[in-house]
Structure 1
Amino acid sequence: MDSIRSKTQKDTLRLRTPSATDGAKVWDLVRNCKPLDENSMYCNIIQCDHFAETCVVAELNGKMVGWISAYLVPSDPDTLFVWQVAVAPEARGHGVGVRMLKDILDRDVTSDVERLHTTITDDNDASWALFRKFSRISGGDLTSKSHYTKDQHFQDCHSSENLVIIELPEALARAA
């Protein structure tokens, strides 16, 4: 658990590992964070249960205001894939997303992670800003390339997704 004071110093942000009982609240949070893709409530319950060690919930005065779902890539356990980031409107602009990413990467289960992957559409300015900021703050190296395309993967029903790769400082130091 991690308690962090917000910019106003009157509210306490608490970061923690989720449990299966958080799934419905995660589902509600994501539904209220347009334009995020909504998963089923069952999917969010499974994420909170089976992938709890690599996911995080943020609470502000007891209310869930943040969520990151992530997992270690089975074929490459040195890579953390960040599936979804949700921050409630009232908690935006206070570094909650960066704090949640740091929280996951500070855990024992991610101690060998060398890179972070995520996918972002061209028009998702908030996600681009978050991952650029995280890369800058962490000293990582951010690159991106086309990955899941609208025509090849999404049957023209979803915008193309770019694979964003952040090589973390420890991995960069080992490569030097």
Structure 2
Amino acid sequence: MISQVKASIATAEPIMLSISPDWPSIIVTGAIGLGSVLTSIGVVYVTRSNQKSQSKAKLAELRKEALTELQNTAAEFIGVCTNIRSCRQNGSFSGNEFDQLQTKAYTLQANIFLSIELDTQVGKDIKRLTDKVINESSDFEVENLIYLKLLDKLNENFKLVLNKRWLEISSALN
């Protein structure tokens, strides 16, 4: 029996299969593959766009916090210096209150310096004006009107810095 099988295999002719391609199935399979590739590209694009916008939003949020901090520090600095001047003129300091307020004024000034660019003209003006405000807050010889003009000039410079920063924030979002 085994010899018969060997003989049949040896004399057997090759079998030819003739299968015609199923073109509709091939087209559908190709369309599904192409759709998958295009969907993947779309997902990558949307994900990348979302990451960029979230990054911009986070950067703008951090800049806004820094802007608010500078604004609060500048306002507190002017308030402390005005308090020093008022108490000095009224003679209402008790104990070492003057020293504490003076120290606070210098601390706030240092925070302002750390928050702005001191190498710009506005930065140099703010440095000069804050020094002058601290010195003149306890100087009786400086008239109130001159002191108030000095504060106005300092406020104008702070507004320049704050407006510039606000423009940076809004441009970062666009």
Q: TM-score range by the shorter chain?
A: under 0.3
Taking structure 2 as the reference length, the TM-score comes to 0.24
The structure whose Rg is larger is 2
Higher helix share: 2
Higher strand share: 1
Taking structure 1 as the reference length, the TM-score comes to 0.24
